[in-house]
Amino acid sequence: MTNHFISNFSLTGSPHVIIAFKRINREGNEHWLNKMAVNLTKRSDDEFPCGQLAHVELMFENRGKWFRYSINKKTGTYDAKGKITWKAGTVHYKQVSETSMADYDYFEHKVDREKQRQIHNFCMSQMENTFNFWGYVLNFFIPFGRIGTRKYSNRLERKKAKWFCSELIVVALQSAGHSSFSELEARSISPNELYRMCSRIDIPFICSPFIDIQI
């Protein structure tokens, strides 16, 4: 699947990617890592939904359809009785489902198609890589010696790496040389902090990406 999507990424289509942030469901079956991440990275001056974000994804248009890309901490599945079972997450690339992204907030980031191809190819090189558990748990406590990837390097496309979601998305954006993200230390960026940055650099916020999107 990876090679198919690399070789068939269309250079015609939307002149933007979508950075999609998932709000925590405090009343639902959220994993404890999600709750911890939100509590550690929120600020008193955050305006909703910032301060309530536990996950981020990157969305691409590819040959007329939209796909979501990220890594989950854990993936939950329900049995017939409604009991949830968690399993380890890996980097994923899935066609967008409107219902699956109902709890997300969106920024429309203008990126030309050639740079989108570069980002897309980096993303595909990371498929099936696993979750950076210790980085996610510890990096927001410790001021130095953080665990994970600091910045994009083309060497990453040839080796295995572990990621948490916002670390992965920041490095993916850096892979096309975007100046707005190039100086970020990816392993120290939470979904809440990435949302704040998108707001600061005037990436347009949109209510829904599903207008005129084929799913």
Walking along the chain (215 residues) 10 residues at a time, the average pLDDT comes out as 61 92 80 82 93 94 91 73 75 85 89 95 93 89 87 91 96 91 94 95 80 61
Strands 104-110 and 205-206: antiparallel
Helix (H, G, I), strand (E, B) or coil at 108: strand
State residue 2's pLDDT score. 47
Tokens 């970020």 belong to residue = 184
DSSP code of 81?
A: T
Q: What is the CA radius of gyration of the chain?
A: 16
Instruction: Answer yes or no: are the C-beta atoms of 147 and 139 closer than 8 Å.
Output: yes
Question: How far apart, in whole angstroms, are the C-alpha atoms of residue 169 and residue 175?
Answer: 10
Q: Which amino acid is at 168?
A: L
Helix (H, G, I), strand (E, B) or coil at 163: strand
State residue 214's pLDDT score. 61
| Two tokens, residue 58 | 């990157």
Question: How far apart, in whole angstroms, are the C-alpha atoms of residue 203 and residue 197?
Answer: 9
Strands 205-206 and 91-95: unpaired
